[in-house]
Every structure is written in C-alpha cells, then in structure tokens.
Amino acid sequence: MIPGWFISIATFPGVIIHEWAHKKFCDWTGVAVHKVIYFRFGNPAGYVMHDKPEKYKQIFWISTGPLIINSVLAIFLGYFTTLTQPESPLYYLIFWVAISLGMHAFPSDHDAKNIFNEGKKIIKNGGSNLHYLAYPFYGLIWIANKLRFIWFDLWYAITLVSLGSLTF
C-alpha cells in the first residue's frame, strides 16, 4: 500500500488547487480567512482556517468548492492534452496536473460532515426540503473517501480527464 503522504507529494498540484478552491469560496461567500496552507509535508497536506460560516449556503459552497473547481479544471486540462503531441513533455505535464486535480476533487469527510450537520439543524428548525440533499451528498462523499484504498480517486480523475479529451 502506498502511504497517503507520498500520494500528496506526487499529486501536490491537486492539493494546492483544492485548498485554493476552499479559500476562493470563502472569499466569494464573504467568510473571513485567517490562515491558508496550500501545501505542506504532513497530515493534512493543506488547510484553510476561516470564520464559522453564518449561513448554510456558505458552508455548502466552501465545502464543495474543491469538487467543483478541481473537477472542472481536470476536464479542461483533459481537453488540452488533445491539443499537444502525445509523446511531448508538455503532454505528460498537463496530464499529470489534470490527474492530480481530479484526485483531490472530493471534499474531506470533515467538509461533508459540516454540510450534513448544518442541513440536519436547518431541517429540524423547519428549513426547506432542499436541505434533505445533505444526506445523500454526505453519503456519496463518505463512500468516495472510504474507497480511496481501491484508488477510487484515481479512477474519478481518469474519468474526468477522459471526459475532457472526448467532449470538446
């Protein structure tokens, strides 16, 4: 089994963009950021410390930011691989970055739990039926994170890059 710290080092562009996405969604939703570590040797490989969001939509967007940003960028870079010569160094560089982005797209269990817990509180206090979506979302993220031991994150990344190379 390959240790997680080694995977983080080998796919560091994905870690950096994952944390950048959290930060950007904090900025876009008006949540103050106190500290950002885009990449480090350790666990976690990166993190964003911010104020506690006041609204559910802030929690949702901050938590899902990496899923959106990393996935979209992996698809676009998959497309860009089709514009380069398959045996060129640039092709391999773009492909590696695209895969690393896709591998780090999924929110952490902590992020998913934030969405789940806040959704539960809002439902309890008479919130909208849309907050019930927190349950399946949490379940899907939890399953995806647990399946990393069979390289689910790599297969997700390959799917995104393939989608990009076939879509445009």
pLDDT tens per residue across span 134-161: 888 889 999 999 998 899 999 999 999 9
Do 70 and 161 form a contact (C-beta atoms < 8 A)?
A: no
41-44 own/partner pairs: CB under 8 Å, 24+ apart: 41/5, 41/9, 42/5, 43/4, 43/5, 44/108
Binned at pLDDT 50, 70 and 90, residue 118 comes out as confident
pLDDT in tens, 44-80: 999 999 999 999 889 999 999 999 999 999 999 999 9
The pTM assigned to this predicted structure is: 0.92
Residue 168: pLDDT band (50, 70, 90) is: low
**Count of alpha carbons within 13 angstroms of residue 18, beta-carbon side:** 26
pLDDT at 164 over 80: yes
Mean pLDDT in residue range 122-145:
84
Distance in angstroms between the alpha carbons of the first and the last residue of the chain:
36
Choose among 72, 64, 74, 78: nearest CA to 101: 74
For residue 51, what are its two tokens?
Answer: 């104020």
Q: How many helices (H) and strands (E) does the chain have?
A: 7, 2
Angle CA 153–109–9, to nearest 5? 50
Domain count across the chain? 1
**What is the tens place of the pLDDT at every residue in 72-107?**
999 999 999 999 998 899 999 999 999 999 999 999
Domain hosting 96: range is 4-167
The encoded tokens of residue 77 equal 């870079």
